[in-house]
Amino acid sequence: MHGLKLSNGTDFNRRRQTRQVHDQFYQYNPRENLPHAVDWRSRGYVTSVKDQGECASCYAFATAAALETYYKRKTGMLIDLSPQNIIDCTWSLGNNGCSGGFITKVFEYVAMNGITTESKYPYASIARHQCGCKKENAVVITRGYYRILPGDELALKSAVAKFGPVVVGISGYQNGFKFYKSGVYADPECKTPNHAVLVVGYGTDPRYGDYWIIKNSWGARWGTNGYGYMARNRGNACHIATMASFPI
């Protein structure tokens, strides 16, 4: 199931209700010294791996996970936020429930309406056409989001190091990715981005080279306890920096 929708880059500011949403490109500053390796899991900023089940809701899980880290950085508290809130409540922004959605539209929704916790709005693995969350129940409201210039892996590295995990769209429905278990993944057959995951860090392996650490939403049995390692600095492998954004 392809849960990530592609944007043509022109619709980010189309809907603006009563609150101005911050939406800008994030750029890497060549003067900044970035750490050689980052892993937000080891800092206690990442919640447990989730399983989206049969609902094509990767866009909701990846963005909720990014917002969890955002909230931790702001408050010092790590909580599970509600992907179901996103699935049920972003139809008007162009998302399609269990048939996929736009990463940036989720961040736009959260800037305008906020998002509640998993305990208050638990995951059902179905899409409801009626939003069950009121704004007064929101625990996280952001100013908006940054986007990475398409293909700019240095900007992605900088954002992960300085701000935290970043939501990315990857080409993730090749068999090699579906059945990935370990190692640094790079597939020359990667095509259009169709799956959203969360980059939670990066590093370098002496054997496999530079990598990104990704958190998937296919349960802990996928990859290495639900996480994977994808090639970094190999020409934007599997489009990992093509559709990247994070909340602010």
Q: Token pair for residue 41?
A: 């899991």
The residue from 85, 98, 216, 239 that is catalytic is: 216
Can 58 be counted among the known catalytic residues? yes
- Report the relative pairing of strands 184-185 and 209-215 from DSSP bridges: unpaired
Can 195 be counted among the known catalytic residues? yes
Under a CB-based contact definition with an 8 Å cutoff, are residues 193 and 171 in contact?
Answer: yes
How many separate helices (H) and strands (E) can be counted in the chain? 5, 9
Q: Token pair for residue 201?
A: 């860090």
3-state SS assignment for residue 99: strand
d(CA 100, CA 106): 11
Residue 230 burial (10 A CB sphere; 0-12, 13-18, 19+)? buried
d(CA 2, CA 59): 10
Under a CB-based contact definition with an 8 Å cutoff, are residues 124 and 80 in contact?
Answer: no
The residue from 194, 195, 238, 239 that is catalytic is: 195
Can 216 be counted among the known catalytic residues? yes
d(CA 137, CA 154): 37
Helical H segments across the chain, by residue range = 58-75, 83-89, 103-113, 153-162, 175-178
The residue from 58, 89, 190, 238 that is catalytic is: 58
- Annotated active-site positions, please? 58, 195, 216
